[in-house]
Structure 1
Amino acid sequence: MDRNAIMERVRTQMPERRWAHTAGVMETAVRLAERYGADPAKAELAAILHDVAKYWKIEDQKRALIESGEAGDLLEYDPQLWHAHVGAHVARRNYGIEDPEVLDAIRWHTSGRVGMTLLDKVVCLADYMEPGRDFPGVDRIREEAGRSLDRALVLGFDSTISFLLANGRLIYPLTVMARNDLIRLLDKEADNG
């Protein structure tokens, strides 16, 4: 399936405002990929598909998670996390995407993970800071993205964790682990720099 066919099909899976978000993530992911040395075509493809399952019914997401074998501990946490893993499953099953880098960038765009690849980071950060995003701290994330992909992503995770804490919500442990992994990486760079 070619890029335009994928885009048209994905567009039918979401409301127009979410498609506008997806378009913003696509543009931002390509820009970040070009700046930091990731593959822009892979970044764009992952961005197109990152929210493909976002508007599926929760029961359908749960069923797809179980079917894919990726449910793990996700079912114990906020269903807002589920669409990323379901999206990777759907990208493979329904759109013929086989590239493991693209599938992982879709899978980890919400929670992050320890040992994030460059493409994972680009798509995750693009989702945080695309032009349509408006939340406290987003301008600081955008500003930092011009200097450091990792520091900007830490700010994004900090924002998510702060929001969840302020609202008394569960925090997915992998997000904390992803943040800590980036902090360790930045500390190591500072020690070697």
Structure 2
Amino acid sequence: MEYTREQLIEIVSGQMPAKRWKHVEGVMETAVILAERFGGDKEKADLAALLHDLAKFWPVERQEAMIRDNGLNPELLEHDKQLMHAEIGAFVAQRDYGIEDPEVLDAVRYHTSGRVGMTKLDKIVCLADYIEPGREFPGVERIRDLAEHSLEEALVAGFDSTISFLLEKGKVIFPLTVLSRNGLIQEIKGSKQ
């Protein structure tokens, strides 16, 4: 069954508190702006942003069971629980809501960790999640300024912020986040040669 955008909004917003839905709306709006700015697909950006936190407020036990029972990335079980919802969201969007576009599904799947070789859509959704208007954390304005001219530089600053925060808290860093950051730095270096 195919769902309309309005039906997906109803489904997704019904699975989270109103404050988080406001965040999702901010990510949707920001993703479309970034797609316009950097030549991305606005419809795909909007859809991936709409779905990105689909499973965010599911109980941790349900998320862990989803990963185990559906052959999803088991490495996520060993890291911060905040990472699981992205993989689960992509899985559920495909299984339950008929989203077949691999670009959209990957943008949902990698919006928290990034990945090596991020697509333009991956970058747009990941960055929109960092800088949507409701986000307030030290350094967000600098990331927003960088996002005026470079997806890659803004994302490196975002990953730096996340990694610094995790280091300060003495938490384990998901290896893919570090690899994503390093891949973006290589990409920036390559484009300046």
Into which bin does the TM-score normalised by the smaller protein fall?
over 0.9
User: Which stretches of structure 1, 4 residues or more, deviate above 2 A after TM superposition?
Assistant: none
Give the C-alpha shift of residue 172 in structure 1. 0.3
Give the one of 152, 161, 164 matched to 2:163: 161
Deviations 1:110-144 (A, max 9, x none): 00000000000000000000000000000000000
Q: RMSD of aligned C-alpha atoms?
A: 0.7
Partner of 2:143: 141
1:122 paired residue among 121, 124, 138: 124
Partner of 1:178: 180
Indicate the residue corresponding to 2:191 in structure 1: 189
Report the residue type matching 1:54 in the other structure.
K
CA deviation after TM superposition for structure 1 residue 190, in Å: 1.4
- The residue type paired with residue 31 of structure 1 is I
Tell me whether 1:91 sits opposite 2:59 in the alignment: no
How many percent of aligned residue pairs carry the same amino acid?
A: 61
Q: Tell me what 2:78 maps to.
A: 76
Larger mean CA deviation between 58-67 and 1-10 belongs to 58-67
Match of 2:69 among 48, 67, 70: 67
Please report how far the alpha carbon of residue 150 of structure 1 lies from its aligned counterpart in structure 2 after TM superposition: 0.3
Offset of 1:164 from its aligned partner?
0.1
Match of 2:133 in 1: 131
**Equivalent residue, structure 2, for 1:30:** 32
Q: Distance in 2 between matches of 1:70 and 1:179?
A: 23
Q: CA deviation at 1:64?
A: 1.1
User: How far, CA to CA, are the matches of 1:103 and 1:66 in structure 2?
Assistant: 19
Runs (5+) with no aligned partner, structure 1? none
Whole-Å Cα distance in 2 between the matches of residues 148 and 88 of structure 1?
Answer: 26
Write the deviation string for residues 12-71 of structure 1: whole angstroms up to 9, x where unpaired.
Answer: 000000000000000000000111111100000000010010000001001111233222
The count of aligned residue pairs is 191
Aligned partner of 1:164: which letter? L
2:103 maps to: 101
Deviations 1:79-136 (A, max 9, x none): 1100000100111112111110000000000000000000000000000000000000
Greater shift, 122-131 or 66-75, is seen at 66-75
Larger mean CA deviation between 59-68 and 125-134 belongs to 59-68
- The runs of 5 or more residues in structure 2 that have no matched partner are none
